[in-house]
């Protein structure tokens, strides 16, 4: 069901989301103010029946549909690039003579760059408009892909991942922001369900492509394949994605940018996120190298939050955090980020280290989880579209997530195919549904529809910051347990000596199936991998339980708001053509 869109001559005053009641009468009236084309001044009219000529076209134009396709491809690109290394990283590390620590940074540096840049893209686009920052995102992402593909060392590869992350941060967040701009909250569930398809499809195809390329010694194509996809996406954006421009002059737009806030956030987020990323992998959590920048980062972020009440266009508008529902939605989104990205990274390692599968086979074995995430990402959104409720679906999704992570610890080297598939399906039901639904309670809590775009950006940033923290914690848990288990084995054969350093565990995985040692010793090593991964998934199960408990604090709010976002799709030419035909 499609909600009405604004005509260019009409500005609709936002309804207070917290006060919207599920009454049929509200669907038959508009709180509308008439504005002339020249002045755009708002009149305080509280109710008016719209004529047929005032309303925008009921159907979506071809340009709108192609714009949505551009968003779909953007979501697919970021999802593909975020998961394609999950299976291939052991082979890449072995080829470039890297360490487990460098493998960790190859993954974490991408997420770190995305986390830091997403709020910056959100704020800048809110003031300058979406298109210029979007094009910059494409350029950075493609440049990073080229650096990655040409890398001859892990250091250069990691640098390429950082540049990719700087671009992917924009692509990922603009996908959510622009969708909030061009659709109403009333019609958004079906579009969120649609967007769940490319996200999950990238998760499915990414590990398979990465594993296939890694097994055939062609892993550099992990970078090259981004270029034609980005080229197609850029063409769609240039020719079809037409957003209503902001009316202020360029000089006034720049004067509205919160440069101090942007600087404080960048410094604070970098100081906070970087030690979180290396804690447990490079330095212990108790090390001054971890604690000093972490504490400094927290102090800077506190100063940033205090300062943000002053600018006209703050990086994080306080209105986004105005209700408990909004705050707890963001917290549970943060937890969802911990769960999803840690699962994507560590589940393939289970198949490769415990079941001794190749990179490509482990990607294929992951298909039940990925496919289920696709299906239930769509079904979750459809369920909200039909019932117009989201709260109980969120609660049920957390239950499936917690159970799915917990029962994975029942796997061992003799686990049947049925167990491998069935347990992944349970986990996929939970994680997939949450991907498409958690956006709704946040946006339903907003009093001003103009904030929906920036709220979408904040939500994406929270999810990715959760991913950053989750990968760091999981790395610490895995390395700590693995070091203890290997220490109990005593002296190891020369071929396995390297495993006394837990940081080398991931890089050694491709060699496990070919190493020639006493089978009994090899079984003990495999058992060490298995127990270490058990610890990771038990931790993720506990995190899911926390998400379930906090979701009780998310209230059910009306999603019957038929307002478009701040930079909605520009239908002026379509409307003019429609009037001329009459």
DSSP label at residue 447: S
Of 105-119, 141-155, 511-525, least confident by mean pLDDT is 105-119
Q: Structural domain tally of the chain?
A: 2
- Give the whole-angstrom CA distance, residue 396 versus residue 392: 6
Of 14 and 251, the one with more pLDDT: 251
Of all residues in the chain, what percent carry a pLDDT higher than 70? 84
The pLDDT score that the predictor gives to residue 250 is: 65
- Give the whole-angstrom CA distance, residue 73 versus residue 235: 11
DSSP label at residue 494: G
The pLDDT score that the predictor gives to residue 58 is: 52
Domain of residue 418, residue span: 65-243+252-257+322-484+531-551
175 and 282 in a single domain? The answer is no
542 and 408 in a single domain? The answer is yes
Q: Classify residue 5: in a domain, yes or no.
A: no
238 and 89 in a single domain? The answer is yes
Q: Classify residue 433: in a domain, yes or no.
A: yes
The pLDDT score that the predictor gives to residue 320 is: 85
Residue 305, Cβ neighbours under 10 Å: how many?
A: 18
236 and 133 in a single domain? The answer is yes
Burial 119-140 (b: 16+ CB within 10 A, else e): bbbbbbbbbbbbbebbeebbeb
Of 16 and 306, the one with more pLDDT: 306
339 and 371 in a single domain? The answer is yes
pLDDT band at 531 (very low <50, low <70, confident <90, very high): very high
101 and 131 in a single domain? The answer is yes
The CATH number linked to 151 is 1.20.1250.20
- Give the whole-angstrom CA distance, residue 151 versus residue 143: 12
State yes or no: pLDDT of 99 exceeds 90.
no
Checking 552-556 for CB contacts under 8 A at 24+ apart, the result is 552/395, 553/324, 553/325, 553/328, 554/325, 554/328, 554/329, 554/332, 554/391, 554/394, 554/441, 555/324, 555/325, 555/391, 555/441, 556/389, 556/390, 556/391
Query: 371-396: per-residue pLDDT in tens?
Result: 898 889 889 888 988 988 999 999 99
The pLDDT score that the predictor gives to residue 93 is: 83
pLDDT band at 27 (very low <50, low <70, confident <90, very high): very low
342 and 470 in a single domain? The answer is yes
299 and 233 in a single domain? The answer is no
Q: At what angle do helices 259-278 and 100-128 cross, to 10 degrees?
A: 160
Query: 199-213: per-residue pLDDT in tens?
Result: 777 877 787 788 788
Q: Classify residue 47: in a domain, yes or no.
A: no
State yes or no: pLDDT of 564 exceeds 70.
no
168 and 300 in a single domain? The answer is no
223 and 151 in a single domain? The answer is yes
In terms of Cα–Cα distance, which of 25, 27, 35, 32 is closest to 48? 32
What six digits make up the tokens of 569? 């799709």
337 and 437 in a single domain? The answer is yes
Q: Classify residue 506: in a domain, yes or no.
A: no
Q: Classify residue 271: in a domain, yes or no.
A: yes
Query: 232-243: per-residue pLDDT in tens?
Result: 999 999 988 888
Single pTM value for the model: 0.78
Q: Classify residue 514: in a domain, yes or no.
A: no
Query: 190-202: per-residue pLDDT in tens?
Result: 888 888 788 777 8
Q: Classify residue 9: in a domain, yes or no.
A: no
375 and 452 in a single domain? The answer is yes
Q: Classify residue 106: in a domain, yes or no.
A: yes
């Amino acid at each position: 069901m499609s909600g009405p869109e604004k005509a260019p001559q009409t500005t609709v005053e936002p309804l207070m989301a917290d006060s919207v009641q599920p009454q049929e009468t509200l669907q038959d009236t508009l709180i509308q103010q008439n504005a002339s084309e020249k002045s755009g001044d708002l009149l305080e009219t509280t109710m008016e029946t719209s004529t047929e000529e005032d309303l925008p076209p009921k159907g979506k134009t071809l340009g709108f549909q192609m714009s949505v396709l551009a968003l779909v491809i953007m979501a697919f690109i970021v999802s593909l690039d975020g998961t394609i290394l999950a299976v291939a990283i052991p082979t890449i590390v072995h080829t470039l003579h890297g360490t487990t620590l460098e493998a960790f940074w190859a993954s974490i540096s991408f997420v770190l760059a995305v986390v830091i840049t997403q709020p910056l893209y959100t704020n800048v686009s809110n003031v300058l408009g979406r298109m210029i920052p979007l094009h910059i995102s494409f350029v950075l992402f493609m440049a990073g892909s080229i650096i990655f593909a040409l890398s001859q060392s892990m250091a250069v590869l990691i640098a390429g991942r950082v540049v990719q992350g700087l671009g992917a941060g924009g692509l990922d967040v603009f996908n959510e922001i622009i969708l909030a701009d061009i659709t109403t909250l009333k019609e958004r569930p079906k579009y969120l369900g649609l967007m769940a398809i490319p996200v999950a499809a990238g998760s499915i195809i990414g590990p398979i492509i990465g594993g296939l390329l890694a097994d055939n010694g062609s892993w550099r194509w992990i970078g090259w394949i981004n270029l034609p996809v980005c080229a197609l996406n850029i063409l769609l954006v240039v020719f079809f994605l037409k957003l209503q421009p902001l009316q202020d002059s360029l000089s006034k737009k720049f004067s509205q940018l919160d440069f101090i806030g942007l600087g404080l956030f960048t410094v604070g987020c970098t100081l906070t996120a970087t030690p979180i990323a290396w804690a447990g992998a490079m330095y212990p959590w108790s090390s001054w190298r971890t604690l000093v920048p972490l504490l400094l980062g927290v102090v800077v972020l506190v100063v940033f939050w205090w300062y943000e009440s002053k600018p006209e266009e703050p990086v994080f508008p306080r209105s986004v955090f105005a209700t408990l529902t909004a705050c707890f939605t963001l917290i549970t989104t943060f937890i969802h980020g911990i769960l999803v990205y840690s699962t994507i990274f560590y589940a393939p390692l289970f198949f490769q280290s415990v079941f001794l599968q190749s990179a490509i086979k482990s990607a294929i074995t992951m298909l039940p989880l990925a496919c289920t995430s696709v299906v239930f990402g769509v079904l979750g959104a459809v369920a909200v579209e039909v019932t117009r409720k989201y709260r109980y679906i969120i609660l049920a999704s957390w239950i499936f997530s917690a159970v799915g992570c917990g029962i994975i610890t029942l796997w061992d080297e003799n686990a049947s195919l049925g167990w491998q598939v069935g347990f992944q399906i349970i986990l996929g039901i939970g994680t997939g549904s949450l991907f498409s639904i958690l956006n709704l309670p946040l946006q339903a809590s907003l009093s001003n529809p103009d904030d929906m775009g920036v709220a979408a950006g904040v939500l994406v940033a929270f999810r990715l910051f959760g991913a950053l923290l989750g990968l760091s914690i999981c790395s610490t848990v895995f390395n700590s347990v693995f070091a203890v288990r290997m220490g109990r084995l005593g002296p190891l054969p020369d071929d396995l000596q390297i495993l006394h350093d837990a940081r080398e565990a991931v890089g050694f995985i491709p060699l496990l199936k070919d190493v020639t040692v006493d089978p009994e010793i090899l079984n003990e090593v495999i058992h060490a991998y298995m127990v270490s991964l058990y610890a990771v998934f038990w931790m993720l199960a506990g995190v899911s339980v926390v998400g379930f408990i906090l979701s009780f604090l998310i209230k059910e709010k009306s999603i019957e708001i038929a307002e478009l976002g701040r930079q909605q799709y520009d239908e002026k030419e379509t409307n003019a053509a429609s009037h001329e035909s009459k």
